[in-house]
Amino acid sequence: MRDVSQLAGVSRMTVSRAISDPELVLPATREKVAKAIAALGYVPDRTAGSLSSRKTGFIALMLPTLTNANFAAVAHGLTEALRDANFHLLIAYTEYDMVEEERQLRNLLARRPEAIVMTGATHSPAASKLLLAADVPIIEIADLPSRPIGHVIGFSNHEVGRTAARYLIDKGHTRIGAIGGTVEGEVRDHRGEERMRGFEDELRLAGLSADAVLRYGEAPLSYDHGAAAIARLLKKSPDCQAVFAVSDLSAVGAMMQCQRMGVSIPDQLSLIGFGDFEIGRIVDPPLTTIHVDFNELGRRTGATLLALLGEDGDARPGRVDVGLSVVERESVSKA
């Protein structure tokens, strides 16, 4: 920057202003500076700028995993929303491991993000303490915690499960099952488990048995999980009429496995998923699923962040439920 200022024949302060707040500089001066910058190929050092201004321009985003289209959509929506404000996303992922989450959070905090976005609302005590002490806006997303740390933009996973159960019940099914991940071990998907609980609760409310609700395999759940889980479930409960999969990926895996086993969907078995993944539209029959607008979730989060970081008196914690909807396709039949 010193080089630029010398070449342009102005002080370094003027260069700084010409870059970050051009309005404050005479057009002629601005021009000279721009030329010098181009000639030298100067790229400002935001590390130094961050230290001085005490604004890093970082937003921390904690995700369970990168390899999930919906979480990627959140990251995507967020990035879009923040791009023009010149914020950078600092992404960390936990692999559904709370010990790892804490480690990652510490690393993130060392970069002094101006806000922290956490996926989910279940944290280790140490992580919660870290978050509380961070003194920056916290947003918990993709969940609807009863005791949130800061702002909330999400949906109720419990309600997802209940909605799935109600839908299947309304179709006249009575022998209803579900497939999801296990709760044992360190690696677990709390939000998926919440969907399973909601499902079981609604089943019980309707006086139906929850015996065919199967927890099997570790997060992240994908096609293989669904294939293996449905095989187990049908062995254990051969008379099952309808199944909820906590993730569309599992649902699709289950569908393919059924195809191989000669179980016709939806004639012999109805299937409903969660997440509205693109693949669900493509398979045959198209998958009935529960949709949450994750892109919107990301964009909303970005807009909230911008508002929060714009005004000084940070508004009191907000709570937004982006809701959910059933996408009726053809994988569920009437009983």
Residue ranges in contact with DNA by CB under 7 A: 1-2, 10-14, 16-17, 19-20, 24-26, 28-29, 42, 44-45, 48-49, 51-55
Indicate which single residue of 44, 145, 148, 318 sits in contact with a second copy (rule: CB under 8 A).
Answer: 44
Query: Within 13 Å and on the Cβ side, how many CA atoms surround 196?
Result: 23
Contact, 15 vs 45, CB < 8 A?
no
Contact, 150 vs 139, CB < 8 A?
yes
Indicate which single residue of 284, 307, 325, 328 sits in contact with a second copy (rule: CB under 8 A).
Answer: 284
> Which of the choices DNA, a second copy, none does residue 17 contact, using the CB cut-off of 5 to 8 A by kind?
DNA
Closer CB to DNA, 57 or 154, in the complex? 57
Count Cβ atoms below 10 Å from residue 26 Cβ, excluding itself. 10
Task: Examine residue 207 and tell whether it contacts a second copy (CB under 8 A).
Answer: no
> Which of the choices DNA, a second copy, none does residue 216 contact, using the CB cut-off of 5 to 8 A by kind?
none
Count of all residues that appear for the chain in the document? 335
**Could you give the CA distance from residue 304 to residue 137 in angstroms, rounded to a whole number?**
10
CB 12 to DNA: min, Å: 5
Closer CB to DNA, 115 or 179, in the complex? 115
For residue 267, give the DSSP letter: T
> Which of the choices DNA, a second copy, none does residue 91 contact, using the CB cut-off of 5 to 8 A by kind?
a second copy
- Secondary structure (DSSP) of 1-66: -HHHHHHHTS-HHHHHHHHH-GGGS-HHHHHHHHHHHHHHT----HHHHHHHHT---EEEEEES-S
Closer CB to DNA, 29 or 122, in the complex? 29
Whether the bond into 238 is cis, omega within 30 of 0: no
Task: Examine residue 186 and tell whether it contacts a second copy (CB under 8 A).
Answer: no
Indicate which single residue of 1, 7, 256, 320 sits in contact with a second copy (rule: CB under 8 A).
Answer: 256
Closer CB to a second copy, 138 or 208, in the complex? 138
